[in-house]
Amino acid sequence: MHSIYKTSVATLVAAGMTASSAFADAHASLSGDLKIISDMSNPAPRAVMEGLVADFSELHPDLDIELTIVDREAWKTQIRNALGANPPDVVNWYAANRMRPYVDAGLFADISDLWAEPEFEGLASTKGAMTLDDKQWGVPYTYYQWGVYYRKDIYDQYDLSEPTNWEEEIANCQTLLDNGVKCYTIGTKFLWTAGGWFDYINSRTNGYDFHIELARGEVPWTDERVRQTFANWQQLIDMGAFIEDHQTYSWQEALPFMLNGDAAAYLMGNFAVAAMREGGLTDEQLDFYQFPLINPDVDYAEDAPTDTFHIASGAQNMDAAKEFLRFVTSPEVQTEINGGDALGQLPVNANAEIGDDKFLEQGFEMLSNNATGGIMQFFDRDFDAEMASVGMEGLQEFMVFPDNLEDILTRLEETRQRIYQ
């Protein structure tokens, strides 16, 4: 295998860019077999994974690494069996609640000792997403930001500034509506986009901890704090902030409203930037801001879906597995694998570097330094799968028929009680 990197990570390490003689001593001591199963099956992620193994092999010539790459969707049904009899040492998966079944089943190893090492301080913003029962069960290797992408040229036309609180958000929205421009485009045909709006309004209203407690089934959907979230959301719905008939559009089909200037903003993940650029928007027309505060007593929490590595509890080479996790989260490796020629996403280590893409720069700054409330994994990852499915149906219904709120909350609460109690 050949490294995908312009400068091999192994070369960087050899040049002394990653630390101490103790680190080098750890390299020299590794031997035996290291088995890795990865779901990085699409072409660019596969090249990254193969490059990681190639460079790690150069650092550890006495280590025999066996890499198996499986289809990303197939892995979702195969992982439990793979972690059973004769498990690999390292596997790919996802953060937060998506770890829960494998943590509860005793299939993921507790690696809290790694997170206690000084080198892991750079990963502090993601620690909550890797924590269950006050222990850490894996490491992140890439994530991407959500936030509000907006038409800066339209904002400039009406002398609007990026809002920092809910009152400013509402005021901006009213100005846009008064001039015949919808505040937000959205396509909820496939439901999950409504989940993003709930994540932000709920976490900005009640805080990260409350949001996660709700996701874990510990809070009734009929709780008054949940009602306040919907009351805040309804402010936007009642004033006509969203495009009409959004339930008939996918997220891609909703893009032309923003491209044509019929809507001024999109709450979306950074993956949408490429489509906006392809649709004709320049970086001078397009900009980004952090979803504003609603309740000034809570900190910013951000949706940043996170992909992860985990060590199987039955790993045969625990030392090598841990060293691989140290390697993949180091600033130099994070810089290389998340670059534009590789994953094109954000490094999880705050000491890493990013390229000159302005949206990645803004996202990195936000998640590294201004996501003090915590990192959410998105509605359909943080919530139980069945609860997420029923929940997102209710969220879409609320956006179309807000007067149905009581029926929706009753239905969601009945589902919560059936699933969690």
Residue 165: phi and psi, rounded to 5, are -145, 170
Long-range contacts of 224-228 (CB under 8 A, 24+ apart): 226/202, 226/409, 227/405, 227/409
> What was the pLDDT predicted at 19?
37
Range of the domain at 350: 9-143+307-360
Which residue in this structure is represented by tokens 């209710």? 394
Q: Is the pLDDT of residue 16 over 50?
A: no
Please check whether residue 298 is in contact with residue 376, taking contact to mean a CB–CB distance below 8 angstroms: no
Angle among Cα 300, 228, 99 to the nearest 5 degrees reads 50
> Any idea which of 10-19, 119-128, 283-292 has the lowest mean pLDDT?
10-19
Looking at the fold, whether 290 and 311 belong to one and the same domain comes out as no
Task: Please check whether residues 188 and 321 belong to one and the same domain.
Answer: no
- Would you say the pTM of this structure is higher than 0.95? no
In a domain, 40, yes or no: yes
Q: Which residues contact 279 (CB under 8 A, 6 or more apart)?
A: 255, 256, 259
Identify whether residues 164 and 296 lie together within a single domain: yes
CATH code (residue 48): 3.40.190.10
Q: With respect to residue 339, please indicate whether it lies within any of the assigned structural domains.
A: yes
374 part of a folded domain:
no
Nearest to 97 by CA among 219, 221, 214, 198: 214
User: Considering the domain boundaries, does residue 227 fall inside one?
Assistant: yes
The tens digit of pLDDT for each residue in 255-269 reads 999 999 999 999 999
Same domain, 223 and 236: yes
Other beta carbons less than 10 A from residue 279's beta carbon: 15
Residue with tokens 């993601």, as numbered in its chain: 126
260 with 188, same domain? yes
Q: Are strands 90-94 and 32-38 parallel, antiparallel or unpaired?
A: parallel
Q: Are residues 247 and 396 in the same domain?
A: yes
Q: What pLDDT does 126 receive?
A: 92
Residues 260 and 393 in one domain: yes
Is 325 within a domain?
yes
Q: Is the pLDDT of residue 98 over 60?
A: yes
Q: How many domains does the chain have?
A: 2
What confidence score (pLDDT) does residue 29 get? 75
Residues 254 and 392 occupy one common structural domain:
yes
Burial class (CB in 10 A: 0-12, 13-18, 19+), 228: middle
State what percent of residues in the chain have pLDDT above 70: 93
CA nearest 245: which of 263, 226, 232, 233?
263
Residue 27 in this model has a pLDDT that exceeds 50: no
- Structural domain contains residue 375: no
297 shares a domain with 322:
no
Angle, to 10 degrees, between the axis of helix 405-420 and the axis of helix 224-238?
140
- Residue 176's pLDDT band, with cuts at 50, 70 and 90, is very high
* Residues 227, 120 within the same domain: no
Same domain, 114 and 51: yes
Distance between CA 199 and CA 202 in Å, rounded?
Answer: 5
Is the predicted pLDDT of residue 212 greater than 50, yes or no?
Answer: yes
28 domain-assigned:
yes
pLDDT band for 24, please (50, 70, 90 cuts).
very low
In this structure, are 134 and 171 located in the same domain?
Answer: no
For range 276-301, the mean pLDDT: 97
Query: Which pLDDT score is estimated for 28?
Result: 53
Residue 133 inside a domain? The answer is: yes
